[in-house]
Homo-oligomer: A and B are copies of this chain.
Amino acid sequence: MTIAPARLPLMANAIRALSMDAVEAANSGHPGMPMGMADVATVLFTRHLKFDPSAPHWADRDRFVLSAGHGSMLIYSLLYLTGYAAPTIDDIRNFRQLGSPCAGHPENFLLDGVECTTGPLGQGVAMAVGMAMAERHLNSVFGDDLVDHRTWVIAGDGCLMEGINHEAIGLAGHLGLGHLNVLWDDNRITIDGATDLSTSEDIKARYVATGWHVTECDGHDFADIERALQEAKADPRPSLVACRTVIGKGAPGKQGTSATHGSPLGAAEVAAARETLGWTAEPFVIPSDILADWHMAGEPGRRAHGTWAGRLEASDHKAEFERRMAGDLPQGFSLDAHIAGLIEAPQKIATRKASEIALAAINPLLPDTIGGSADLTGSNNTLAGGIGTFSRNDYAGRYVYYGIREFGMATAMNGMALHGGVIPYGGTFLVFTDYARGAIRLSALQQARVIYVMTHDSIGLGEDGPTHQPVEHLASLRAMPNLLVMRPADAVETAECWEIALRQPDRPTVLALTRQNLPQLRLAAGENLSAKGGYRIKPADAARKVVILATGSEVSLAMECAAQLETAGVGVDVVSMVCSELFDEQPPAYRADLIPADALIVSIEAASTFGWQRYTGTHGLNIGLDSFGASAPASDLFAHFGLTVDAIVPQIQNKLNS
């Protein structure tokens, strides 16, 4: 039993009605996009999208990404109409109200069926690229029987105008992601007015230049939409379908104008739209025949899910596939052997190198990882453990040459993590988190296990100078909710941090790693001390008067300062504050023991001191770098900026005597 073509316009109008009603009730929201794309979405959801409303986590479902997240009522309407358990009609009535899962923009952590959080423009398309990468990779591992689905995107002009679009489609075109289909809401309107106010680009030609298949359709002609989607699916390249639409279609006085973009239509215009659409039902009421049609839309997916489940049961891969999709690590996974090796043969190496040898241990044990770098493979030390290159010719590879696309890498990693079945990590210089920051925030907000391997983490990188030397980056990342920022002090801590990061199913991690060599400070076997975020790496010999908190490369500097102070009879604890977010989660007694009230608390970090006062108080001492760096060999820079034993010890002594 299929849905008759004649029913499609009525079904599309149900989206329009719900969207108008919800925005009107909230007195806030964006009716223009859902009304403009209602027809295209109806064709997609009734004829193409593979989904099972009763099993929103089905691994082999198609992924649907509403990149133009402001049009959130489109996806809320679709989830409700097709019969997902949520949102309910009451949830939709409470659109944009506290506690409703129907938030202003779609949030993956509030509703099943929302594959990713969108709203920050351009990132939806870019995360979809990552989803499509994960799909092809898992297909190469588990075969067509278990993994063979598409990623569909609805995107607006804003998504295509953002810089991230260039990075994302460049990657998709290069990787030949034929299961990725982007439906562009080509309505020629932005918030400020007509698109020709700000752009003269031939978007279709740009996509063709980037290796995409491009077609177009009249976004209000159901047969033409169907033809275009068929064409998109048939082409082996990723596809862009330019859907020529009228924004706010159905609102007779405002359609085709930016007035419909981000404001309620108003009672009079809603009434006129109902008249135009022939929609007579009460607000928030969908006539039962139309709802019944919509409920049928999920039928093909339900059936496909059933046969897929049979294949899974019969598959030799069942246990491993389920483990990976659940996001669990393999039973017995551990870096203990690797760490034991380090204890046995201590390494004086950069923590970026320590990360590489950790990865050489991890990658063979953990087939879930997909690594990469934004064109700094040899500097980030991200390629290890014999993983091959992920390419259009070999999706089984696990190393991605992302090119000079930091933001594109980060968004793709978000998409991969959200798709599930893989654990992405990727590298660039710490300073270039600035380029990827919008995506790092979405990793945190979306609770995605993404591991950022950020090397060259201070002036210790030396000659490249201030453009390449992070100063404010550690502080600025620590201020972000739900993100672990780890700065290990040696090879052992680096391995511990990798293990912690891998074991965070619902938050991302930034590993801040040095370019320069560091002595190994941890020389005894034992528990993962980094897991507490901060720990006493050296207790005071003499009566304790000072506690030095340090991270990364400055822990060994702190140890040297402490040694000199001890010779002068000043007892000094050194705490390696490898991850302050984890430290802050420890019980108060643990924290008070490490940062006692009766000692001078000193922080040492070759970075902005901003934020350290939460531990040192206003009477402590903050050693750091509150200006931009400079270009010189690293040791000259540490001396120049006063990050040496000779510069620091007198400051501590003065403070004690003051």
Q: Which residue numbers of A lie inside 8 Å of B, CB to CB?
A: 26, 28-29, 69-70, 96-100, 103-105, 107, 117-122, 157-158, 161-167, 170-171, 173-174, 190-193, 197-203, 205-206, 208-211, 373, 375-379, 401-408, 431-432, 434-435, 437-438, 441-442, 444-445, 462-468, 471-472, 475-482, 608, 610-611, 613-615, 617-619, 626-628, 630-633, 636-637, 640
- Bound: A206/B169 CA distance, A: 12
Q: Which residues on B sit within 8 Å (CB–CB) of A402?
A: 198
Q: Which residues on B sit within 8 Å (CB–CB) of A619?
A: 617
Assess whether A405 is in contact with B161, with CB atoms less than 8 Å apart.
yes
A499 to chain B, nearest CB (A): 26
A403 to chain B, nearest CB (A): 3
A187 to chain B, nearest CB (A): 14
Assess whether A200 is in contact with B211, with CB atoms less than 8 Å apart.
yes
Specify which of B98, B404, B481, B608 is in contact with A630 (CB 8 Å cutoff): B98
- Bound: A627/B109 CA distance, A: 14
Q: Which residues on B sit within 8 Å (CB–CB) of A444?
A: 628
- Bound: A112/B508 CA distance, A: 43
- Bound: A203/B173 CA distance, A: 13
Closest chain B residue, CB of each to CB of A639:
B98
A120 to chain B, nearest CB (A): 5
Closest chain B residue, CB of each to CB of A126:
B163
Q: Indicate whether A481 sits within 8 Å of B209 (C-beta atoms), given known contacts A163-B408, A633-B97.
A: no
Assess whether A463 is in contact with B167, with CB atoms less than 8 Å apart.
no
Assess whether B201 is in contact with A445, with CB atoms less than 8 Å apart.
no
Specify which of B170, B202, B378 is in contact with A209 (CB 8 Å cutoff): B202
Assess whether B200 is in contact with A466, with CB atoms less than 8 Å apart.
no
Specify which of B28, B166, B475 is in contact with A463 (CB 8 Å cutoff): B28
Assess whether B466 is in contact with A476, with CB atoms less than 8 Å apart.
no
Q: Indicate whether A468 sits within 8 Å of B98 (C-beta atoms), given known contacts A435-B438, A462-B28, A628-B482.
A: no
Q: Which residues on B sit within 8 Å (CB–CB) of A611?
A: 475, 479, 610-611, 613
Closest chain B residue, CB of each to CB of A607:
B479
Q: Which of A121, A165, A202, A435 has the most CB of B within 10 A?
A: A435
Assess whether A103 is in contact with B475, with CB atoms less than 8 Å apart.
no
Assess whether A465 is in contact with B633, with CB atoms less than 8 Å apart.
no
Q: Which residues on B sit within 8 Å (CB–CB) of A104?
A: 463-465, 468, 631
- Bound: A472/B475 CA distance, A: 10
A650 to chain B, nearest CB (A): 21
Shortest 7 CB-CB contacts between residues of A and residues of B: A163-B163, A198-B403, A476-B476, A166-B166, A103-B631, A119-B467, A205-B209
A614 to chain B, nearest CB (A): 4
A277 to chain B, nearest CB (A): 25
Assess whether A632 is in contact with B466, with CB atoms less than 8 Å apart.
no
Q: Indicate whether A198 sits within 8 Å of B467 (C-beta atoms), given known contacts A164-B163, A205-B205, A472-B480.
A: no
Closest chain B residue, CB of each to CB of A99:
B632
- Bound: A434/B613 CA distance, A: 25
Q: Which residues on B sit within 8 Å (CB–CB) of A119?
A: 464-465, 467-468
Q: Which residues on B sit within 8 Å (CB–CB) of A466?
A: 103, 107, 445
A268 to chain B, nearest CB (A): 21
- Bound: A118/B466 CA distance, A: 10
Closest chain B residue, CB of each to CB of A97:
B632
- Bound: A157/B170 CA distance, A: 13
Q: Which residues on B sit within 8 Å (CB–CB) of A103?
A: 465-466, 630-631
Assess whether B161 is in contact with A105, with CB atoms less than 8 Å apart.
no
Specify which of B162, B206, B445 is in contact with A467 (CB 8 Å cutoff): B445
Given contacts A96-B631, A107-B465, A120-B432, 15 further A-B pairs with CB under 8 A are A98-B640, A99-B632, A118-B467, A122-B404, A163-B164, A163-B165, A163-B166, A191-B376, A192-B377, A198-B375, A202-B209, A206-B210, A442-B467, A445-B467, A476-B480
Closest chain B residue, CB of each to CB of A617:
B618
- Bound: A267/B26 CA distance, A: 71
Q: Indicate whether A481 sits within 8 Å of B435 (C-beta atoms), given known contacts A161-B404, A163-B405, A611-B611.
A: no
